Structure formats: C-alpha cells, structure tokens
Structure 1
Amino acid sequence: MHHTTENESLPFPILLGDIGGTNARFSILVDDTSEPIRFPNIKTADYPTIDEAIAKDVLEKTAVRPRSTILAVAGPIEGDEIDLTNCDWIVRPNALISDLGFEDVLVLNDFEAQALAVACLTDEYREDIGPKIEPLTASRVVLGPGTGLGVAGLIYARDTWFPVPGEGGHVDVGPRSPRDFAIFPHLDRIDGRVSAEEILSGRGVVNIYQAICKTDGIQPAFTDPADITAKGLDRSNRQAVETLSLFSTYLGRFAGDMALLFMAKGGVYLAGGISQKIIPALQQPEFRAGFEDKAPHSEFMRYIPTFVVTHPLAALAGLASYARTPSDYGISTQGRRWQK
C-alpha cells in the first residue's frame, strides 16, 4: 500500500460502487466532464463475492475498462479484508487489483458517500420535512434508516467539506413518554442494549411493531417491514399506524441528537431506503416535534432544516462529485487506498 498525497485524482475511467447490505449500485465515470454510465441494481445475495458481481454485472456489460475504483461500503474499513456489516461480501482490494485489473482502489464508508452527496444536493433532490428553511453552507448530518442505520457528519471549514464517518447508529436510546416506558421492555436488544439501529432500521420497524402488539396483548400479523409501513401509511392497521408514528418520533429525537452533536446549522438529511418510502408519515407533526424537543436548545433546533434525500442514487452522485474534483473535499485516503 503506497501513501499518496491527499486529494490526488484517481485515474479515469473510474468504477463507482455503493455497496449496501441488500443492494449494490455501480456506475462508471469515463472522465471528469461526462455523465456516469449506469448499471442495473445488483442484489448482494445473488453473488457469493463482490468480485464476481463486478466481473459479471459490470465489466462484461461494457467495453469501457475502468482503471480505478471508489467503493463505498457499509461497515468500518480496517486492514486488507473489509467485512460488510449486513451482508456476506468481503472487499479485498488487493484481489480487485490482481484479478480484475484495477490500478487504484479507494474504499470509503457508505455514509461518507451519502455525506459527499449532501454537500452537493440541489433542491430538486430533497423534500422538506417541517418548515421550509434554506440550508446554510454549514455543518450537516446525514442519517439513513435502511438495512442498518448509517450516520455521517459533514463539517464545512476552509472552503472544504469534510465527511466524518462513524458508527453513530449504535448509540443507546431510551424511553421518554409513558407509552415508551410501556413498550420498551418488549423491544429486542443486542447484549441488553437498545441501540438506535434496533428501532430505526428495517428490523427496527418490526421490533417496534411487535413490541406494540405485545404491550397491547395482540397477536402480531406482520413480520415484513414493508407490510408494516404499507399498512401504517394506508391506516388499515392500528398497530402499524402507531409503529410509523413512534418510528417518526424516535427518528426525530435521534436526528435532533445528531444535529446537536455536530451543531448542524446546514441541516439534517434523511437518506436510506426507508425515509423515501415514509415521507407522508415524516410530514406529520411527530418527526419535527421529536426533533425540536431539546430543552434548553429547542429554539436553536427550530431553525435547523430537515430533509428527505430523494435522489435515487445519492451515494453514487456523491462519489462522482468527489472523483471529478477531489480537492473540494477533505477525504483522508490513508489506510483506505491500495495501488498496483
């Protein structure tokens, strides 16, 4: 592994990849001016390895030969074998170089890529939740309830955006209202902990729903988060409706915590698969109420805008923006860049 100067461009064409727990999305950026070449979504479960997915579903489908790749992966990046948190793939940059012909491999955290996107998102790709406030060019937070719960900060300093990846989805959360105190004992935990991800993710939706059913002494009718959100949105099942209401409250509280942590005057952006699907629920009063309810700082919170990111491929757009002009972003490549 060579240590190169920070913000040095990778050689074009560049393969961009956003690898989540369930879906992998790829595009190729031929040069710094063209639009990326898109490829269909890949289900991570359909291929035993990422190498095979790239070979079959990308490289075999285009004559363009990428020389380098930037991969955004769900999970911490340590060493030469990068385990993905919510799927079986392992990213081995040295194998990508030796077997697939890449010269240069850069691996980022998936929410770092979402943060890059949030730095350059225009109006048309975000939906206001709560009051319409033009975001300042200031620190931002991106949160994504999906297979897991991704969190990243985005600090603005010296005319540069600095993404701050982390594992914020794993902080502890606790009950607050009388209803919370009734439901929380029934939530599934990990080693005794209710972390944010246990209630603000796909499995979190099911967790809240099943805890409501247990509290009310009702047999749960659904086990799939998509069914629960659908029944909650069309208001055809009382427990599903309450699940969405509580999910919105808990997401609002957590979003407010992260906004306080980063002093995010530039706004909080909700990414991830679930946020887009439940926009009507998030536009009800619960989300903003939970977000602003931060005494002694409720007044401060009122002026922080919150958005749902509606861009269909935000992480890839963020990676493309970085690949075109790396100098706009303070990305540390040390320990995360491999070269031939």
Structure 2
Amino acid sequence: MWTSGEGDQLAFPILIGDIGGTNARFAVVLDARSEPIFFPIVQTADFETIDAAIRASVHDKSPIRPRSAVLAVAGPVEGDEIALTNCPWVVRPKVMFSSLGLSDIVVLNDFEAQALAVVALGEEHMEKIGGGAPEEGAPRVVLGPGTGLGVAGLIHFHGRWLPVRGEGGHMDIGPRNPREFQIFPHIEPLEGRISGEQILSGRGLVSVYRAVATASGAPERFSKPSEITGAALDKSDPVAEEALKLFVTCLGRTAGDLALVFMSQGGVFLTGGIAQKIVPALKTGEFRAAFEDKAPHSALMRDIPVYVIVHPLAALSGLAAYAQAPERFGVETRDRRWRA
C-alpha cells in the first residue's frame, strides 16, 4: 500500500534506524512534534545481530521502549529475512516482535532514507557544488559513496515526495582517456566487471589508489581510505592526489548520468562521510567538469545544482520526518511493513 494519511501513522514512540555496512545509527521519535532522541553510533561488526545492537545501544541506554520501528537498511528489502549487502546482519521483523517488544515495523532501503532527508533538511545542512538554482518540485537524485555506493531518486507527485529505490551503485563504469586506460586494468573487478562501487566507495578508493600506484610504478604507502584522502588533500603524496582526482571525476560522471536519467533539475545530493570529507576536492573543478560533460546536454547540466549534505545524521532526519508525518511522502510499504 501507499502511505497516504493518518491511518498509516505508526504508534509512538518510534524507533528509527539507519543501518549501513559498517555503522548503525539509532534514534527514538517520541511524538509528531519532538526532535528525535539520538543514540551513539555503533559498529555493526561489534554485534552478532541487529537485535543485539538495538538492545545494547537503545534499550540499555534509555527507559523508553519503542512500540514501532522504521528501519533503513543497506540492501534490497525482500521477504521476511532481509540480508544486508555489505554486512552479515539479517533483519527479521517477525522475530523483533518478541525480541524487542515491537508491534509495527517498516523496513526501507537506506538510500530511500537519504532521499527523504533531502526534503527534511534545510540548505544550512548542505554545501553547494556549482550549478544554478533548484527547480521547485523537480526530480532529485541522491547518491553516496560509503561501504558501497547508494543511489535513490526523489519525485514530487500529487503533493507528496516519492523516494525511488534502486541499486544504481552497481552500474558499469569505465575509462575515458589514455591515462585512465592505463589505470583501469589494475582496479579490482567484481565477477569480471567494474561497477560504480568498485571505485566509488571506501574500498573502491583504496583499489583506485593501488591501481594508480601500479600504473605509475610507485610504492603503496597507504591502506585506508582516510589515509589516502588525507594525503591527497594536504598534497603530501602524488599517488593519493591522482587517486582522489580520479575518484572525484568518476563520481562527477556517475552523478551526471543519474541526473540525466531522472532529469533532476531539483538538484543532485551527495551524502555520506566520504563526500563530507572531500568537499575541498569536489570544489577544485574536476567533479563539476565531469558532471557537465554530457553532450549534447551540457547546457542543461550546467544549470543543475549539486549539494553535499553535511548533516552527520541525515538519514535519521529523513526517517524521523517520515515517521512523524507519513502523509508528506509516498512511501511504498507493501511487503515492507509487518504488524504483530
């Protein structure tokens, strides 16, 4: 069913959760007017199950016992056992009724939550990366490199915002100039091909860095994404600089492709920790040049604004907006809502 009004409101207090491959973030919404109560971020690797993580990070830290939950997970939501793509957790809503005392559970894709955040957050939580003014009511696109590469669309229809979920992070991506043709053969493929998240993710950045080092005959000094971005931004390592430049260029191309798919004249929104950390690199020009290099539609692309969402808990803000006022959104809950 489509959520359409008061009858689809979940019972308060509502647990909201943003569960990625590496981190899990939780909050509780007490009522339709209160700000969410946020809890410390936890590492998925520290807990065997999501139920154990919720008990330790929410139940053990607060006397509030949520009656309902809206959870966003990094992976497709299919069936009664929902496996995450880059994490061994499996979400079992029917088990959560007894293990956590919940009676109503909605499970969404994590980038649907990021799309909802675009509506929930004001521009004070965004850093603009070129382009003109957003067209009111026009489609929007959200993408974010992290443990993987998340993608979602957002369309305004009959007075409501409809998030469009998908797995756009697994689209093919390839080289376009002679230097890239030297580097790409050394990027780690996935079952014989290079998808977006083989480059545009934390592990992807490491793979790109190693590929640049190999193509250059240079030593590999770093093994973590944070080390690579740090060395690139402070210009202390030329291999890291080139790796981040290629990363930013590929992110611009992919963002531009998605902007064309959705005709997202309402804007393109980059989210997640990696995008927040590399804002200086995104502003140097390579990102915007790659984004706009879409002949015969370059003029159209120059007008489309790009924003980096800098709010640290953007997805939770989006989930809270939905939990408090589901009538604002056209969220498909068929086969994604469980009631005890």
Once the 2 structures are TM-superposed, how far is the Cα of residue 133 of structure 1 from its aligned partner? 2.8
1:168 equivalent in alignment to 2:168: yes
Structure-2 separation of matches of 1:54 and 1:19: 11
Question: Does residue 1:46 correspond to 2:82, yes or no?
Answer: no
Q: CA deviation at 1:5?
A: 6.5
- Partner SS, residue 27 of structure 1: strand
More deviation in 174-183 or 281-290? 174-183
Partner of 1:271: 271
Distance across 2 between alignment mates of 1:264 and 1:245: 25
Conservation of the 8 A alpha-carbon contact between 2:134 and 2:265 = no
The separation in 1 between residues aligned to 2:63 and 2:262, in whole angstroms, is 44
Q: Would you say the 8 A contact 1:70–1:106 is kept in 2?
A: yes
**One-letter amino acid of the structure 1 residue matched with residue 296 of structure 2:** P
TM-superposed deviation, 1:161: 0.5
The letter for the 1-side match of 2:184 is F
One-letter amino acid of the structure 1 residue matched with residue 141 of structure 2: V
> What is the alpha-carbon distance in structure 1 between the residues aligned to residue 190 and residue 2 of structure 2?
40
> What letter matches 1:240 in structure 2?
A
| 1-structure distance, mates of 2:225, 2:58 | 30
Secondary structure, counterpart of 1:266 in structure 2: coil
**8 Å Cα contact 2:141/2:262 also seen in 1:** yes
The answer (yes or no) to whether the contact 1:6–1:333 under 8 Å persists in 2 is: no
TM-score (norm 2): 0.97
- What residue number does 1:243 align with? 243
Q: Give the aligned partner of residue 57 of structure 1.
A: 57
8 Å Cα contact 1:72-1:109 kept in structure 2: yes
Match of 2:66 in 1: 66
Aligned to 1:96: 96
1:60-117: CA deviation from partner (whole Å, max 9, x where unpaired):
2111111000000000011111101111111000111122110101000000000000
Judge conservation of contact 2:3–2:332 (CA < 8 Å) in 1: no
Residue of structure 2 in register with 1:82 after alignment: 82
1:82-161 map, 5 Å:
82-131=82-131, 133-161=133-161
Q: In structure 2, what is the Cα distance between the partners aligned to 1:282 and 1:40?
A: 29
CA distance in 1, matches of 2:108, 2:311: 20
- In the alignment, the residues of structure 1 paired with residue 97 and residue 200 of structure 2 have an alpha-carbon distance, to the nearest angstrom, of 37
4+ runs deviating over 6 angstroms: none
C-alpha displacement of 1:135: 4.9
Shift of 1:37: 1.1
Higher mean alpha-carbon deviation, 177-186 vs 104-113, is at 177-186
SS at match of 2:18: strand
* Corresponding letter in the other structure for 2:161: W
Q: Which residue of 1 aligns with 2:225?
A: 225
- Give the total of aligned pairs: 338
CA distance, structure 2, for counterparts of residue 4 and residue 226 of structure 1: 41
- Aligned equivalents of 2:248 and 2:220: distance in 1? 20
The change in CA–CA distance for 1:96 and 1:6 in structure 2 (over 3 A counts) is farther
Where does residue 178 of structure 2 map in the other structure?
Answer: 178
> 2:151, 2:3 → 1: CA distance?
27
Q: Is the 8 A contact 2:152 2:166 kept in 1?
A: yes
Instruction: Tell me by how many angstroms 1:132 deviates.
Output: 5.3
Identity %: 58
What letter matches 2:213 in structure 1?
Answer: C
Which residue identity lines up with residue 21 of structure 1 in the other structure? G
Matches of 1:135 and 1:13, distance apart in 2: 36
TM-fit CA distance, 1:121: 2.1
Secondary structure of residue in 2 paired with 1:98:
helix
**Equivalent residue runs for 1:274-289 within 5 Å:** 274-289=274-289
Residue 173 of structure 1: SS of its match in structure 2?
coil
**Aligned-pair CA distance for 1:134:** 4.2
Deviation of residue 219 (structure 1)? 2.2
Letter in 2 for 1:124: E
How much has 1:120 moved relative to structure 2? Answer: 2.6
Secondary structure, counterpart of 2:191 in structure 1: coil
1:41, 1:84 → 2: CA distance?
Answer: 18
SS in 2 for 1:253: helix
Give deviations 1:259-304, integer Å, cap 9, x for gaps.
0000000000000120000000000110000000000000000110
Alignment partners' CA distance in 2, 1:300 and 1:131: 10
Distance 1:23 1:5, change over 3 A: closer
User: Which amino acid is 2:234 matched to?
Assistant: D
Aligned equivalents of 2:286 and 2:265: distance in 1?
21
**How far apart in 2 are the matches of 1:132 and 1:284?**
17
2:140–2:265 Cα contact (<8 Å) kept: yes
Unaligned runs of 5+ in 2: none
Alignment partner, residue 35 of structure 1: 35
Whole-Å separation in 2 of the counterparts to 1:204 and 1:135: 33
